[in-house]
């Protein structure tokens, strides 16, 4: 079938402003029908994430050309297996950005977010079963982004990338659970295992950081603190119950907030080695420091090696919020429905897909939390 998708031709050499240079081209592509174990999904909402921007600016090198987008929801319109039992035509699904094979040691050990087969497929820009379903006008392959490629009218995904959810969730809300909420809330609940009464400090108030903040509040954090250079984001964090200030105030304010020498839990969401170092230093003796940011691979972390033992600190890498999507997405949706996880607060705007390059500028400038796009190719 013929679809429209936002395609990136090159990574790392895309000058700004993106609204003028338009690194993402809305392109007509041929989409193959779903193969065995795959689904055809009509995309009806997709969120713009820093992980998308990281491919454009070269921080996350990926094979090109690539159809971007990984945080999305849609409706199943086609089944690759005639005996498919888990999904049916018309199901609403939320797409997770790492499919898990179910067969490797990590999957068998209850850690599908560490699936080596899924990571290899994502790194090569293909689907889990092999190959690519997207092709340009000359028949050349277009790579998949994290098994999803959601900045499009339709996508073919592995069934293991999809989680069936209730049909009554608004698409612009449902999309947020595929990355921002899954990663941020998971960092607090799964990776840090924050306990009621503990203190927490969060670096970065994008969609992931604010999702972590919401989850920390729901978990009963006694002291909830956040650091971000954006006054607008800090104002939202304070509205949500946090103490928030800029990085330049940290040296003065952190000792008074955490007189025991630091926070019990520190979450780093920025994706910069310097920020991760600051986050590590802001934890008390025996603290848990969780990082979900994705720095450029060339960056290195410099911390005193002895501190891991002498101070009993634990540095935890959290990919996809250490999530089991089929378990955690429904759990977080239940928390949202009960008012404990008001993820609608993350929503900055809803725009047509045609505005994607301008929205990239707002994301890069720190002026947006979560911008959701709908594949309506008519300008609003």
Structure token pair of residue 14: 């895309």
Cα 223 to Cα 217: distance, rounded to the nearest angstrom:
9
Q: Which residues pair with 136 in a beta bridge?
A: none
pLDDT for the residue numbered 7 = 98
Cα 163 to Cα 288: distance, rounded to the nearest angstrom:
30
49, 179 contact by CB (below 8 A): yes
Give how far Cα 165 sits from Cα of 36, 41, 91, 324, Å: 22, 14, 8, 15
Class of the CATH domain delimited by 181-319: alpha beta
Rg of the chain taking only CA atoms, in angstroms: 20
Q: Which residues pair with 322 in a beta bridge?
A: none
Structure token pair of residue 311: 């101070």
Token look-up 């994008």 returns 206
pLDDT for the residue numbered 379 = 41
CATH code of the domain made up of 2-178+342-374: 3.90.180.10
Cα angle 176, 182, 187; round to 5: 135
Phi, psi of 204 (to 5 degrees): 100, 130
- Domain boundaries along the sequence of the chain: 2-178+342-374, 181-319
279, 268 contact by CB (below 8 A): yes
Q: Which residues pair with 288 in a beta bridge?
A: 265, 314
Structure token pair of residue 95: 């797409």
SS (H, E, C) the chain: CEEEEEEECCCCCCCCCHHHHCCEEEEEEEECCCCCCEEEEEEEEEEECHHHHHHHCCCCCCCCCEECCCEEEEEEEEECCCCCCCCCCCCEEEECCCCCCCCCHHHHCCCHHHCHHHHHHHHHCCCCCCCCCEECCCCCEEEECCCCCCCECEEEEEHHHEEEECCCCCHHHHHHHHCHHHHHHHHHHHHCCCCCCCEEEEECCCHHHHHHHHHHHHHCCCEEEEECCCHHHHHHHHHCCCEEECHHHHHHHHHHHCCCCCEEEEEECCCCHHHHHHHHHCEEEEEEEEECCCCCCCCCCCCCCCHHHHCCCEEEECCHHHCCHHHHHHHHHHHHHCCCCCHHHHEEEEEEHHHHHHHHHHHHCCCCCEEEEECCCCCC
**Mean pLDDT per 10-residue interval, the chain, length 380 residues:** 97 94 97 98 97 95 97 98 96 97 95 96 96 96 98 98 97 98 98 98 98 98 98 97 97 96 98 97 98 94 95 97 97 98 97 97 96 71
Intrachain domains 2-178+342-374 and 181-319 with the same fold:
no
């Amino acid at each position: 079938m013929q679809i429209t998708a936002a395609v990136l031709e090159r990574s790392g050499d895309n000058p700004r402003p993106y609204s003028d240079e338009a690194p993402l081209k809305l392109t007509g592509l041929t989409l193959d029908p779903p193969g065995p174990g795959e689904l055809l999904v009509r995309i009806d909402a997709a969120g713009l994430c820093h992980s998308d921007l990281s491919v454009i600016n070269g921080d996350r090198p990926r094979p090109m050309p690539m159809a971007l987008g990984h945080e999305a929801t849609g409706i199943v319109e086609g089944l690759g297996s005639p005996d498919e039992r888990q999904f049916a035509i018309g199901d609403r699904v939320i797409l997770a950005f790492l499919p898990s094979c179910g067969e490797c040691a990590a999957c068998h050990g209850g850690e599908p977010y560490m699936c080596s087969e899924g990571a290899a497929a994502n790194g090569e820009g293909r689907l889990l079963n092999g190959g690519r379903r997207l092709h340009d006008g000359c028949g050349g392959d277009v790579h998949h982004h994290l098994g999803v490629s959601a900045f499009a009218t339709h996508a073919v995904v592995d069934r293991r990338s999809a989680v069936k959810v209730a049909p009554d969730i608004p698409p612009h809300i449902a999309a947020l659970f595929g990355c921002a909420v899954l990663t941020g809330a998971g960092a607090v609940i799964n990776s840090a295992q924050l306990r009621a009464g503990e203190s927490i400090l969060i670096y970065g108030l994008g969609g992931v950081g604010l999702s972590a903040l919401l989850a920390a509040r729901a978990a009963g954090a006694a002291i909830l603190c956040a650091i971000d250079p954006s006054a607008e984001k800090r104002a939202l964090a304070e509205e949500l119950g946090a103490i928030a200030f800029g990085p330049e105030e940290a040296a003065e304010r952190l000792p008074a907030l955490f007189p025991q020498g630091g926070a019990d839990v520190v979450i780093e969401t920025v994706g910069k080695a310097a920020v991760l170092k600051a986050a590590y230093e802001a934890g008390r003796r025996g603290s848990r420091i969780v990082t979900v940011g994705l720095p450029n691979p060339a960056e290195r972390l410099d911390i005193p090696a002895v501190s891991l033992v002498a101070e009993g600190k634990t540095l935890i890498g959290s990919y996809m919020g250490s999530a089991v999507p089929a378990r955690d997405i429904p759990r977080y949706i239940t928390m949202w429905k009960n008012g404990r996880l008001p993820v609608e607060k993350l929503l900055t705007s809803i725009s047509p897909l045609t505005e994607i390059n301008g929205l990239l500028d707002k994301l890069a400038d720190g002026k947006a939390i979560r911008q959701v796009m709908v594949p309506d190719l008519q300008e609003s």
